[in-house]
Amino acid sequence: MDTQTFIDQYYVERKDTDSLKWDLLEERFGDADLLPMWVADMEFKVPDGVFEALTERVQHGAFGYSFVPDSYYDTYSNWMEKHFSYKVEKEWCRPATGVVSALYWFMNCFTEAKDAVIITPPVYYPFFNVIKDLDRTLVTVDMTDNDGHFELDFDQFEQAIAANNVQLFILCSPHNPAGRVWTEEELEKMLSICDQYDVLVIADEIHQDFVFGNHKHMPAPIVAGGKYTDRIILVNAASKSFNLPGLVHANIVIENPKLRQTFDNYANQHIMSEKNLLGHIATEAAYRTGEEWLNGLRNVIQSNYDFVKTELTAHIPEIKVCDLEGTYLPLVDLKGFLDPADVKEFIQEKCKLAVDYGEWFGEAYKGYIRLNLATHPKFVEVAVGRITAAYKEL
Ligand SMILES: Cc1ncc(COP(=O)(O)O)c(C=O)c1O
């Protein structure tokens, strides 16, 4: 589906709909009049097939306890096999009420208080929260920005694991907000180090469906022909891909029967939540019917990104728009023309924008902002126009 058709059919206003992104600006940023380019959801209605499946269920009118049917697993497995050559078996899967919830479960289930957990900033800030909230020891290896391309130093990664007796690694793949789609070679390096030091790997692959250009996402369990599968817990969802995060449903995949048993024992004692009926109905319908919609959305994101990169670099020689191999959330480095301490004032007071600030993803990244480009191009144009105008007035 081309960009304009997608926008004409699916763009929707979200203000005054109890939207975190649009209606909590005062609370989160102290200014209700900012243009929201933060948080990771979108101004687009779901695919028609999702809308129809939800409507049918809402019209049925009863919302009793549910289970996830076989048709769901068949559809999910088909999606994973078709797009990522990973044939997921139903018995490996467990539903979750969101990826972040699942991270808290895994941390409690597979680690003890004070255990060391490694992450690679700049990274999705709930990774920091889950480690700190549950009193685990935070170990970080910062990625390096090589002219807009973020890279991990594998020697540093290994040293940090060895020196801190790390027990668990939260892999973000594709990486938010570094925008990286890890190559198989990079994944294999990380996983083989984890193997060498007996580190369990949680692979958060929620951004798997947002991959651009020639890049290819490879699920961690099939890297190197599945050599590291036994130490991997995969979690992904249709929620980012199809704008369903408010329906809190995600997929856990654990191939290793021992780990699965440990998780099931934990779940029986500690996870009291039921399934989200509308969440799994929407997810199944998205995987069954949403492919053309998703192609249209990816075209919108790519064209928004190209616009941001071309326009910002044309008007602001010192700006750096980082690469976007995956996700819809590029980092933009403002340090070339702004003191990092002045970024907030520039973005909120002068540009009137709400963004995610670099330091939310790791202290070293103050001076970057993250923009959400899964939105109508008109908002992207306004944001870019405000940044270039404010720059001229500096
Ligand atoms: C890497 C990553 N994991 C998890 C989430 C959120 O997942 P959920 O809404 O299912 O908790 C996000 C949202 O932006 C994300 O970027």
pLDDT along the chain (394 residues), means of 10: 96 98 98 98 98 98 96 98 98 97 98 98 98 98 98 98 98 98 98 98 98 98 98 98 98 98 96 90 98 98 98 98 98 98 98 98 98 98 98 97
| Co-location of 240 and 297 in the same domain | no
Q: 98 CB under 6 A from ligand 1?
A: yes
Q: 96 CB under 6 A from ligand 1?
A: no
| Co-location of 77 and 223 in the same domain | yes
Q: 176 CB under 6 A from ligand 1?
A: yes
Cα separation of 252 and 204, whole Å?
10
Query: What is the Å distance from ligand 1's center to 172 Cα?
Result: 10
| Co-location of 123 and 202 in the same domain | yes
| Co-location of 15 and 92 in the same domain | no
In a domain, 52, yes or no: no
Query: What is the Å distance from ligand 1's center to 300 Cα?
Result: 21
Residue among 382, 351, 379, 355 at smallest CA distance from 367: 355
pLDDT at 272: 75
| Co-location of 245 and 359 in the same domain | no
Straight-line distance from the first to the last Cα atom of the chain, in angstroms, rounded to the nearest whole number: 41
Q: CB-side exposure of 197: number of CA atoms within 13 Å? A: 23
Cα separation of 115 and 128, whole Å?
14
Query: Which helix (H) or strand (E) segment is 223 a member of?
Result: none
Domain boundaries, position 363: 3-47+291-393
The pick from 209, 235, 240 for probing ligand 1's pocket by mutation, whose C-beta has the most ligand atoms within 8 angstroms, reads: 240
Residues in the chain: 394
| Co-location of 249 and 161 in the same domain | yes
In a domain, 128, yes or no: yes
Cα separation of 307 and 302, whole Å?
9
| Co-location of 207 and 346 in the same domain | no
Residue 39 CA: nearest ligand 1 atom is 14
Q: Per residue in 34-66, pLDDT tens?
A: 999 999 999 999 999 999 999 999 999 999 999
In a domain, 142, yes or no: yes
How many domains, the chain? 2
Angle at 148 between CA 220 and CA 233, to 5 degrees: 15
Q: 119 CB under 6 A from ligand 1?
A: no
Q: 204 CB under 6 A from ligand 1?
A: yes
Beta strands in 98-151 (DSSP E): 116-119, 137-140, 144-146, 149-151
SS3 381: helix
CATH of the domain at 25: 3.90.1150.10
Residue 172 CA: nearest ligand 1 atom is 1
Q: 206 CB under 6 A from ligand 1?
A: yes
Residue among 132, 125, 203 at smallest CA distance from 169: 203
In a domain, 53, yes or no: no
Query: Among 289, 308, 325, where does a domain finish?
Result: 289
Q: 38 CB under 6 A from ligand 1?
A: no
| Co-location of 276 and 375 in the same domain | no
| Co-location of 226 and 299 in the same domain | no
Q: 172 CB under 6 A from ligand 1?
A: yes
Query: Among 263, 289, 315, where does a domain finish?
Result: 289
pLDDT at 240: 98
Q: Per residue in 309-337, pLDDT tens?
A: 999 999 999 999 999 999 999 999 999 99
Cα separation of 377 and 7, whole Å?
9
Q: 40 CB under 6 A from ligand 1?
A: yes
| Co-location of 351 and 311 in the same domain | yes
Residue among 329, 322, 353, 350 at smallest CA distance from 338: 350
In a domain, 56, yes or no: no
- Note if the bond before 36 is cis, omega within 30 degrees: no
Query: Among 244, 267, 289, where does a domain finish?
Result: 289
Residue among 222, 224, 157, 146 at smallest CA distance from 193: 157
- Answer whether 387's CB lies under 8 Å from 317's CB: no
pLDDT at 274: 84
- Give the pairing of strands 144-146 and 149-151: antiparallel
| Co-location of 274 and 318 in the same domain | no
Query: What is the Å distance from ligand 1's center to 149 Cα?
Result: 22
The pick from 41, 124, 205 for probing ligand 1's pocket by mutation, whose C-beta has the most ligand atoms within 8 angstroms, reads: 124
| Co-location of 41 and 158 in the same domain | no
Query: What is the Å distance from ligand 1's center to 316 Cα?
Result: 32
Q: 239 CB under 6 A from ligand 1?
A: yes
CATH of the domain at 123: 3.40.640.10
Query: What is the Å distance from ligand 1's center to 170 Cα?
Result: 13
% of the chain at pLDDT higher than 70: 100
In a domain, 119, yes or no: yes
In a domain, 59, yes or no: no
Q: How far is CA 167 from the centre of its chain?
A: 23
- Answer whether 12's CB lies under 8 Å from 30's CB: no
Distance set, CA 45 to CA 139, 180, 243, 305, 374 (Å):
39, 27, 7, 20, 12
pLDDT at 273: 79
In a domain, 57, yes or no: no
Distant-in-sequence, close-in-space partners of 130: CB < 8 Å, separation ≥ 6? 100, 103, 104, 107, 136, 170
Q: Per residue in 115-128, pLDDT tens?
A: 999 999 999 999 99
